[in-house]
Amino acid sequence: MKIAINGFGRIGRTILRQILTRPQPGPVDVALINDIAPLDMLSYLFRYDSIFGPYPGEVRTGAETLEVGGHVIPVSHVDDLSRVDLSGVDVLLDCTGVARNSDVAARGLTAGAGKVLISWPSPAAEVTVVLGANEDRLGNARIVSNASCTTNALAPLLRVIDDLAGVERAHMTTIHCYTNSQPMVDAPRDDFARSRAGALSMVPTTTSAMRLINHVLPELAGRISGAALRVPTASVSSVDLVVQLARPMPHDTFGTALHTAVRATSVLGWTDEPLVSSDLRARPESLVIAGPELRMIGDRQARVFGWYDNEWGFSARMLEVARLMTAAPQG
């Protein structure tokens, strides 16, 4: 699989780390990194990461190349990717956060890439795909969104529970680490609460996952509500889901069935240990269910809690969806 990475921020750098440090089911050739920041800054931020630690190998720069892990990767610095030659690239991973309209999203195609995968919820995508929930809808789409980290955590869990006992209604709260959408000191933002210093307070806010769930799992549209609470931690988030089951199941039966179903998926995990958020750093699953936190009231209401590394797990899904896109016929 031949890819290019447009935008070498948190997700772009994490994707490259995974290519270089995690076993992949097949070779991944990174044909280009594009980012408007200077090359020495990009190299520095890849080498020294405050969340994942230093890269375990040598990182050097050449004449507009990043040399790492035995790879010499060309680097460009254009704000319009259509000016770059991406001929032969199977999938462009757009990690810029700016592909909000079809013209911008299609620049990778104009440059010669076969397909584009966007690393956030974008209205420009032909389809939004979440592994473990609706990958059967991928088809032959050329511009695809990988949704959001929280949607990747929630949608496969809802799919599993709906298959087991039916979801009559549910409410999800994501307890989410702060991100660079929040200021580190009080500063104006569109949302008053999110204008406050992200590392000093718990901040109640919204989550795009609620809108996306209606697209990813249309059969559950209108039955799921949710909210977010941003908390002063730098990585790893969680999903706290309370669900009203359509069909009654005793606690032991539901717990055993959920454990079995989760283990059968490729994107969900399970732990019976009393873990805290930092224990889940760099876990590749979309969501790791915490078995000790499972609760039921009667035989129809269940509470399910799980952890997700909102950067590492999401980046793992980006690579897996890109592989699915290369396997699909070119449009």
CA–CA separation, 305 vs 241, rounded Å? 6
Distances, alpha carbon 163 to alpha carbons 1, 157, 246, in Å: 33, 10, 11
Amino acid making up residue 227? A
Nearest to 24 by CA among 1, 47, 3, 44: 1
Characterize the bridge pairing of strands 224-231 and 203-205. Answer: antiparallel
- Set 149, 172, 243, 268: catalytic member: 149
N- to C-terminal Cα separation, the chain: 17
Q: In the annotation, is 177 catalytic?
A: no
Nearest to 29 by CA among 90, 107, 99: 90
Characterize the bridge pairing of strands 167-177 and 224-231. Answer: parallel
**Catalytic site positions:** 149
